[in-house]
Amino acid sequence: MPEQLVFAMEVTLNGLMTGVMYSLVALGFVLIFKASGIFNYAQGVMALFAAMTLVGIQDGRVPFAHIINEVLGTDIHYFGWEVPALLAILLTVLVMIGFALFVQKFIFRHLVGQEPIILFMATIGLAYFLEGVSDLMWGSEIRNLDVGLPQGINDTIDQVTFEIFGYGFFIDNLDLWATGIAAVLVAGLIAYAQYTKNGRAMRAVADDHQAALSVGISLNYVWILVWSLAGIVALVAGIMWGSKSGVQFSLSLIALKALPVLMLGGFTSIPGAIVGGLIIGVGEALFEFSIGPLIGGATENWFAYVLALVFLVFRPQGLFGEKIIERV
Amino acid sequence: MKTLATLAVATVMAAGPALADLVFPDLSYRTGPYAAGGIPFSDGYQDYMTLLNQRDGGIGGVEVRVVECETAYNTERGVECYESTKGEGALVYQPLSTGITYQLIPRATADGIPLHTMGYGRTSASNGTVFSHVFNYPANYWDAASVIINQLLEENGGSLEGKTITLLYHNSAYGREPIRTLETLSEMHGFELSQLAVDHPGQEQGNQWLTIRRERPDYVIMWGWGVMNQVAIQEAANIRFPMENFIGNWWAGAEHDVEPAGMDANGYRALNMNVLGDLPVFDEIQEHVIDAGLAAGDGTNLGSVLYTRGMYAAMLAAEAARTAQEIHGVADIDASMMRDGMEALVMTNARMEELGMPGIGPEFTVTCEDHGGSGMARMQQWNAEAGEWVTLTDFIAPDDSVTDPLVAEDSAAFAAENNIELRCNES
C-alpha cells in the first residue's frame, strides 16, 4: 500500500477521534437549544468552570480563598484533604445542577417569551460572569487534572497496524476513552429522552413549549433539567480537554470548535452533533495533511468553518436539523 | 467666581498624577488564555518596584508608581492600555507581547517614550541607529535561535550536517520571528529545517505531532506560549518523542508549561535568559513586600521562572532610571531622560551582586548602536521527579556573524519604509 495512503488512514482515524472531542462540546449546545431555543454562548466557559471545580474539589482547595483571606486576614488555601476522583466528579455534578438552578432562577425565568437574540445576549453576559466567578473561586493558574484516564500511544493499535501496513498508527488512549465515554453519553441521553417521563417532557417542550405548558409540563423544571444535563456534558468535555492541556482558561475557547460542528450537524440533533463532529474532525485533519503543507499549515481553525459553510449552502438547517418553514 | 476657578484648578491638580512619582506602566495579562504566563511576570515586576519603595524609598529618593493595565494578551487592548496610561508620565513600557510591541513601536517613538521588549518583540529593534526608542536587551529571538543551534552543534561534535530539525511555532508575529534566522543557520550548518505552525491558542496539535512522528526529526524546537506549550509537551510524550531532543525557547520553559504532563515531561529542555534558584533579593521581597501584605499576587509565585524574569525586567528598568538620574542630575526624570538612561545602561556582575541578584543575567553594555545586549542565554532541563528546572549550561553566546547581518538588513528595510534617518553618527 502506498505510504501516503497509510499515513492518510492514520490521519483519518485521528481526525475521527478529534471529532468526538468536538462533539462532546457541541452536545451541550444542542441540549439547551433543542429544549429552549437558546444558543448558549457560555457552554465553553461552563466546561472550564466544571473542570476547575472538579480539580478544586479533588485538591481540597478552599473556594474564593483569595477573597476570604483578604476580608478576614487569614491565609487559608486548602482544607487539608484530597477527594477521590469519582466522588469529586459527583460533587461537581451537584455544583453544575446548582448552577443550572441559579441560571434559571435569576436569568432565564425572567426572560421567557423574549426574542432569541435577547436570550443569546443573556448567555454572552453569563459567559463573562461565569469566567470571572471561576477566576475568583479557583484562581487563574493552570491546574493539573488527573481522574485516572490513561494517556499516550495505544500499543495494541500500534502493533496491529504495524503488522498489517508496516507502519504503526498513533492513537491516543485518551481519545479512545473519550470515544467510549461519548458513545455512552449519547446513548444515555437518547435513552433518557425516549424512555423517561422527564425525557418525554423535554421532547414535548422542544416540540412546542406552549402546548407542553397546556398539558401541565413545567417549563421551569424542564429548563433546569436541560441546563443540568448541559452542565454534566460540559464537565465531561472539560475532563477530556483538560486532561490534555491542564485546566486553564483556553478550555473555554473550545466552544469555537463546536460552532462549525453545529452548523453542519444541526442545532437540534444529538446524532447530528456526533456526525458533524466526526466530519469536521476528519475534514480538517485530511485538509491539513494534504493541503496544509502547501499553504503554510495551521489550517484547522479556519477550514472547519469553510467546511461548515459549504454544507450550509446546500442544507441550511444542517445535516440532521429540522427544516423550519415559516408561512406569512 | 475667582474662588470657584481656584477650586477648579486645585481639583484638577489634585486629580492629576503626583509630580514626584516615577511611573512604570505594567501592561499585564491576568486574564485570558495566556494568564498563566502573564501573572507571575507581572507579580515579579510589581513586587520588585514595591521593594524599592519600601526598602529604599523609591529610586534616587523618588517613589515608584506602577500603573497596571490588563491587556489579556490582546493587541487592541494593549494599544488602548498604552494610550490610556501614557499621560500619567510613563517612563517605559514593557508590553510582554510581540503583537502589541509591533503596534507600539511607531506610537511610542513618536511620543518619545521608550519600549523595553526583553527577549520578545521586533528582533531588529536591537539596532539603535534605526530604533531610537526600542530596547530589547539582554537578548532577542534571533539570539535565542542561534544559541539553541550553537548548543546543538556543541552536542553533535560541531556539525549538524544531515540532521533534521523541526520548528514548531505559534502562528503569530511572535512565533514567526525565528524562522529567518533558522533558515540562514540551516544553510550554514547543513541541517534540514521543517516548520509546523500551530494556531492560537494551541489547544489542538494532533496533526502537527502526527507529522513529527512520521518524519522523526532529530530535534524539535518550540516557539510557543500559553496553552500551546503544555499541549505540545504532552503530545511529545504521547508519541514518545525523546524529551531531551525537544527544546523550547525562553517563553516555553516555565514550571506551568511542564507540570501538567507530570513525569512524562522529564528531560524537556528550554532556554532561559536569567538564572534560577535562591537569590538573596527573594528574602528581601519576602520580608518587605509579601510579609507586609503588599505583594501584587498571593506571593506563591516568588522564585518561579517567570516571576524571576519579571523581577529581572523591573530591575533593568530601575537601573536604567538610576542611570538616567545620574546622567541628567535630576531625580524626577521624564521619558526622554529614561531613554537616555536605557541607552547608557551597563550591567556588571558586581552590580547584579550588589542588588541581591548575582549573575541573574549576562553582563552587557547598551550603546547608541546596540540596544540588544549580549544575546546570551542558558539551557535548562526539567527534572520531573524533583519538580524543578536544572540549569545545564553557562550563558551561551549567539553567533553574531549570523544575527548581525539579519538585524542590519531588516532594520535598514524598516528605516527605508519609514524614512528614518540613521542615528549615532559620531562627528
3-class SS string, chain B: CHHHHHHHHHHHHHHCCCCCCEEEEEEECCCCCCHHHHHHHHHHHHHHHHHHHHHHCCECCECEEEEEEECCCCHHHHHHHHHHHHHHCECCECCCCHHHHHHHHHHHHHHCCCEECCCCCCHHHHECCCCCCEECCCCCHHHHHHHHHHHHHHHCCCCCCCCEEEEEEECCHHHHCCHHHHHHHHHHHCCEEEEEEECCCCCCCHHHHHHHHHHCCCEEEEECCCHHHHHHHHHHHHCCCCHHHEEECCCCCCHHHHHHHHHHHCCCEEEECCCCCCCHHHHHHHHHHHCCCCCCCCCCCCCCHHHHHHHHHHHHHHHHHHHHHHHHCCCCCCHHHHHHHHHCCEECHHHHHHCCCCCCCCCEECCCCECCCCCCEEEEEEECCCCEEEECCCCECCCHHHHHHHHHHHHHHHHHHCCCCCCCCCC
ipTM for the complex shown: 0.90
The pLDDT of residue B12 is: 40
Mean pLDDT, chain A, whole residue set = 91
Across the interface, whether the CB atoms of B264 and A152 are under 8 A apart is answered: yes
The pLDDT of residue B209 is: 96
Residue A217 falls within a domain, yes or no? yes
A128, A240, A250: best mutation site toward chain B, by most B Cβ within 10 Å?
A250
Q: What is the pTM of this model?
A: 0.90
| Residue among A235, A220, A180, A186 nearest A43 (CA) | A235
Chain A residues in contact with B171 by the CB 8 A cut-off are 297-298
Residue B11 falls within a domain, yes or no? no
Please indicate, yes or no, whether residues B211 and B94 belong to a single structural domain of this protein: no
Please indicate, yes or no, whether residues B266 and B292 belong to a single structural domain of this protein: no
Pick left, alpha or beta for residue B356 (phi over 0 → left; psi -120 to 50 → alpha; otherwise beta): left
How many structural domains is chain B composed of?
2
The C-alpha atoms of residue A319 and residue A300 are separated, in whole angstroms, by: 21
Which residues does chain B have with pLDDT short of 50? 1-19, 427
Amino acid (one-letter) located at B294: L
More confident residue, A297 or B215: B215
Q: How many residues does chain A have?
A: 328
Those residues whose C-beta lies under 8 Å from the C-beta of residue B280, and which sit 6 or more positions away, are B356, B357, B358
Average pLDDT in the A73-94 region? 94
Average pLDDT in the A229-257 region? 91
Amino acid (one-letter) located at A306: V
What is the end-to-end Cα distance of chain A in Å, rounded?
Answer: 58
CA distances (Å), B120 to each of A214, B58, B95, B141, B223, in order? 64, 28, 9, 6, 11
Those residues whose C-beta lies under 8 Å from the C-beta of residue A246, and which sit 6 or more positions away, are A142, A143, A144, A145, B227, B230, B256, B259, B260
Instruction: Work out the number of other CB atoms within 10 angstroms of the CB of residue B425.
Output: 8
Q: Which of A32-36, A239-243, B135-139, B409-413 has the lowest mean pLDDT?
A: A32-36
Please indicate, yes or no, whether residues B111 and B211 belong to a single structural domain of this protein: no
Instruction: Work out the number of other CB atoms within 10 angstroms of the CB of residue A295.
Output: 10
Min CA distance, A148 vs chain B (Å)?
13
Please indicate, yes or no, whether residues B72 and B131 belong to a single structural domain of this protein: yes
Please indicate, yes or no, whether residues B60 and B127 belong to a single structural domain of this protein: yes
DSSP state of A172: B
Q: What percent of chain A is predicted at pLDDT more than 90?
A: 64
pLDDT at A58 over 50: yes
Residue B334 falls within a domain, yes or no? yes
Whether residue B175 contacts residue B163, with contact meaning beta carbons closer than 8 Å, is answered with no
Average pLDDT in the A74-82 region? 90
The C-alpha atoms of residue A257 and residue B204 are separated, in whole angstroms, by: 10
Band of pLDDT at residue A139, cut at 50, 70 and 90 = confident
| Residue among B255, B244, A43, B397 nearest B236 (CA) | B244
Across the interface, whether the CB atoms of B227 and A11 are under 8 A apart is answered: no
Residue B408 falls within a domain, yes or no? no
Please indicate, yes or no, whether residues B288 and B357 belong to a single structural domain of this protein: yes
Across the interface, whether the CB atoms of B31 and A140 are under 8 A apart is answered: yes
- Domain of residue B191 covers 141-272+377-400
Please indicate, yes or no, whether residues B240 and B187 belong to a single structural domain of this protein: yes
Q: Which of B36, B199, B200 sits opposite A248 (nearest CB)?
A: B36
Please indicate, yes or no, whether residues B307 and B191 belong to a single structural domain of this protein: no
Please indicate, yes or no, whether residues B28 and B114 belong to a single structural domain of this protein: yes
Tell me the residue ranges of DSSP E strands in A166-262.
none
Dihedral sign, Cα of residue A8, residue A12, residue A14, residue A15: positive
Across the interface, whether the CB atoms of B39 and A250 are under 8 A apart is answered: no
How many structural domains is chain A composed of?
1
Q: CATH number of the domain that B34 lies in?
A: 3.40.50.2300
Residue B210 falls within a domain, yes or no? yes
Q: Which helix (H) or strand (E) holds A86?
A: helix A85-106
The pLDDT of residue A255 is: 83
Across the interface, whether the CB atoms of A300 and B262 are under 8 A apart is answered: no
Bond from prior residue into B201 cis (ω within 30 degrees of 0) = yes
All three cell numbers of A244? 490534555
Q: Is A6 helix (H, G, I), strand (E, B) or coil?
A: helix
The pLDDT of residue B7 is: 46
The pLDDT of residue B253 is: 96
Whether residue B121 contacts residue B98, with contact meaning beta carbons closer than 8 Å, is answered with yes
Residue A327 falls within a domain, yes or no? no
Residue A321 falls within a domain, yes or no? no
- Domain of residue A117 covers 3-314
Residue B114 falls within a domain, yes or no? yes
CA distances (Å), B401 to each of A30, A85, A303, B120, B377, in order? 59, 56, 41, 21, 17
Please indicate, yes or no, whether residues B129 and B145 belong to a single structural domain of this protein: no
Residue A265 falls within a domain, yes or no? yes
Band of pLDDT at residue A323, cut at 50, 70 and 90 = low
CB hemisphere CA count around A76 (13 angstroms): 15
Residue with cell 493552570: A142
Residue with cell 545620574: B326
Please indicate, yes or no, whether residues B224 and B287 belong to a single structural domain of this protein: no
Residue B213 falls within a domain, yes or no? yes
Min CA distance, A131 vs chain B (Å)?
9
DSSP state of A251: G
The pLDDT of residue B9 is: 39
The C-alpha atoms of residue A117 and residue A79 are separated, in whole angstroms, by: 43
Residue A120 falls within a domain, yes or no? yes
Q: Which of A108-112, A175-179, A239-243, B377-381 has the lowest mean pLDDT?
A: A108-112
Across the interface, whether the CB atoms of B199 and A298 are under 8 A apart is answered: yes
Across the interface, whether the CB atoms of A254 and B203 are under 8 A apart is answered: yes
The pLDDT of residue B143 is: 96
B73, B172, B227, B259: best mutation site toward chain A, by most A Cβ within 10 Å?
B227
The C-alpha atoms of residue A242 and residue B418 are separated, in whole angstroms, by: 46
Chain B residues in contact with A134 by the CB 8 A cut-off are none
Please indicate, yes or no, whether residues B206 and B317 belong to a single structural domain of this protein: no
